[in-house]
Structure 1
């Protein structure tokens, strides 16, 4: 059974560099046999949070929200690709995730951070760890940190040079960690209903 993985990306900027990392992850996870879909917060374009999905009467949520809720519930695992804005998470990605809650429960999540500089978005990645945990996900310990992103991945999301080779080496452990928890969580959900 192929793992169903959603890769979330959240930049709304005109010249988005982080999409390179999102594309890299989609391609690499698919090459390992996963069924992967990129969820681009800018393309989904949910409004600033006023009402969570669960606060709409059944069948009345905006179509983009309804569609995404179905995809989240059907997924086995999630990957969050996050840039760093002033030591914190991107508002577009945070806004998208906040529209949902129970839909995330009992599945693993992995974090891949990036930046234009040498810190590779790790401060945002650290913040995301606690956010995702609070939202009911098991956050795997392996992370990817990419920076400077323009020297690591080209415009097509292909690794380049020594930084790209380093990313390629780190990806295997990252993907293995996510795959292990994905299988464990899926089997446990099939064996026993979650407690809430």
Structure 2
């Protein structure tokens, strides 16, 4: 079953290293037969949250917001590649997610995190789980954490060294589990109307 699985990334920094993990994730999901695209918060360029998508009159949302709303509505699940800023989440990605609400409902989310240090963004990974749950997604239990991101993936998002080998080893199990949740949710949405 081909799934629609956008990959969200949110760093606005000039020298972004996490984009390597986002590119790797898109490539891996496509290799598994899925329709996967990168949604780069910086490229989408939504303003700081003033009005959510649903607060715009029909047809009056900015074009980038309207296009993203359609991507969310038609997705089977969402993958979030997240960095850690001061034990917390990246503001660019948080701002993008906050523009929407109902569009996220009833689909699973998978979280992959990274950092320059050895903890691999684990604190941001944990923080995003609560955020995504509050926004109507269920998060898959497994997580991917990549420490030493500069050494684990090269500039083209290709695994290298021990960190890259560890990522290649852990990713298939993470993806298997995430796909299972996406298929289960898709089947449930077809057979059972969502409660709200």
CA positional deviation for 1:193: 1.3
Structure 2 partner of 1:100: 100
CA positional deviation for 1:72: 0.4
Deviation by residue 1:19-42 (Cα, 9 ceiling, x = unmatched): 000000000111011110100000
Q: 1:193, 1:43 → 2: CA distance?
A: 35
Q: TM-score, normalised by structure 1?
A: 0.99
Deviation by residue 1:50-85 (Cα, 9 ceiling, x = unmatched): 000000111110010000000000000100010000
Q: 1:119, 1:185 → 2: CA distance?
A: 31
1:1-196, aligned counterparts within 5 Å? 1-196=1-196
The alignment partner of 2:141 has SS state of strand
More strand per residue: 1 or 2?
1
The alignment partner of 1:132 has SS state of helix
CA positional deviation for 1:11: 0.3
Q: How many residues are treated as equivalent by the alignment?
A: 196
The alignment partner of 2:78 has SS state of strand
Q: 2:193, 2:45 → 1: CA distance?
A: 33
Q: 1:171, 1:14 → 2: CA distance?
A: 27
Point out where structure 1 has 5 or more consecutive residues left out of the alignment. none
Point out where structure 2 has 5 or more consecutive residues left out of the alignment. none
Q: 1:193, 1:55 → 2: CA distance?
A: 25
Deviation by residue 1:151-195 (Cα, 9 ceiling, x = unmatched): 100000000011111110100111001100000000110111101
Q: TM-score, normalised by structure 2?
A: 0.99
The alignment partner of 1:5 has SS state of coil
The alignment partner of 1:82 has SS state of strand
Deviation by residue 1:126-171 (Cα, 9 ceiling, x = unmatched): 1000000000001000100001001100000000011111110100
Q: 1:83, 1:30 → 2: CA distance?
A: 22
